[in-house]
Homo-oligomer: A and B are copies of this chain.
């Protein structure tokens, strides 16, 4: 087992042992029986089939309630510290799949307050602007306008604050120290913040004045916030929010999480084709030291960021992705060709996304939740 990694809502470093996380956090793996059950509601999403969404808390309970006629709401979000990158889209694309399959309402939280509090160099103006820019990426993915509300924290704080206060009253500094690693030098906004991230999980229950189950698709790195929210929920008379977790989207440099702080290893949704191609051509692969060697002993798709991109997102066809993997292992495809294949896919995807992203501007206001 590999213990040499860190994963918190604010830091992901090292090579992540995802099985160990399930054990460490006390979540449950999505097993074949659960996959089989999900497939009865609609075709399994590739992100499920391929184990990118791989862990959960009470997702089976969400389905039990749904079967009894009790619909659930979805809640996911984004910390608007800068441009959206491809890694962020994983969770959102899967959330849209859940909205489509289950007809679920979605609260999408933009945590402009969080990014301000946790980043010395960001102003509130920066993070609010980031929230609106990132919202365009959310809308571009095709969420149902009638069932989706984008909740920008500072713009919806009138609605969120009373719920956050109820949460905060039940969470001690000790808890946040243990869960988030805070210490005496942590600022008091950061300490309070988890209450704000908990609030949307209970928003529908507050609005509807009766309990509504909530399912949160999120990166496994966000689990800490919702462990706190789940512990507090019964004390406040709410259902515990359920979770479904994805693995981190890999960096083009080979590490386990794509990050905006490494712009060269990160494809942003606003990158022009030339930039995308350049980044992918410079990506870390599983290729051998020379073309001759690679033709002889093959490549290593399991460590290759280019292959991971296809696997995670850009090649939804299982047969095609397996074929690509095999050809790589057998030395039948070289890295240059493989990179070009991916770059074409990403550029095509982003051209379409960027078009929809511009169209989204006219719908932005309708998607935003506003304080009364």
Contacts and interface: CB of A to CB of B under 8 A. Distances in A.
Interface of A: 113, 116-117, 124, 154-155, 157-158, 161-162, 164-166, 168-177, 182-192, 194-195, 371
B161 A189 contact: no
26 contacts: A117-B165, A117-B168, A124-B166, A154-B158, A154-B161, A155-B158, A157-B157, A157-B158, A158-B371, A161-B161, A164-B189, A168-B187, A168-B188, A168-B192, A169-B187, A171-B189, A172-B185, A173-B173, A173-B183, A173-B185, A173-B187, A173-B188, A177-B184, A188-B191, A188-B194, A191-B191
A161 B185 CA distance: 22
B157 A171 contact: no
A162 B154 CA distance: 7
Nearest to A187: B169
A155 to B, nearest CB: 8
Interface of A is mostly: helix
Contacts of A189: 164-165, 168-169, 171, 192, 195
Nearest to A155: B158
A173 B158 CA distance: 25
A217 to B, nearest CB: 26
A150 B139 CA distance: 39
Contact of A187 (B170, B183, B187): B170
A173 B182 contact: yes
Contacts of A169: 116-117, 187, 189
Contact of A174 (B175, B185, B195): B185
B172 A184 contact: yes
A353 to B, nearest CB: 31
Contact of A172 (B155, B170, B187): B187
Contacts of A113: 161, 165
A157 to B, nearest CB: 5
A166 B117 CA distance: 8
A106 to B, nearest CB: 23
A291 to B, nearest CB: 53
Contacts of A175: 188
A191 B185 CA distance: 13
A269 to B, nearest CB: 27
Nearest to A176: B188
A186 B164 CA distance: 16
Contacts of A183: 173
Contacts of A186: 172-173
B371 A165 contact: no
Contacts of A192: 168, 188-189, 191-192
Contacts of A182: 173
Contacts of A116: 165, 169
Best-buried of A168, A174, A184 by chain B (most CB within 10 Å): A168
A211 to B, nearest CB: 18
A98 to B, nearest CB: 31
A89 B339 CA distance: 75
A157 B155 CA distance: 10
A194 B169 CA distance: 15
A171 B176 CA distance: 17
B165 A161 contact: no
Nearest to A125: B162
Q: Which 5 A-B pairs have the closest CB atoms?
A: A168-B189, A192-B192, A174-B184, A157-B161, A158-B158
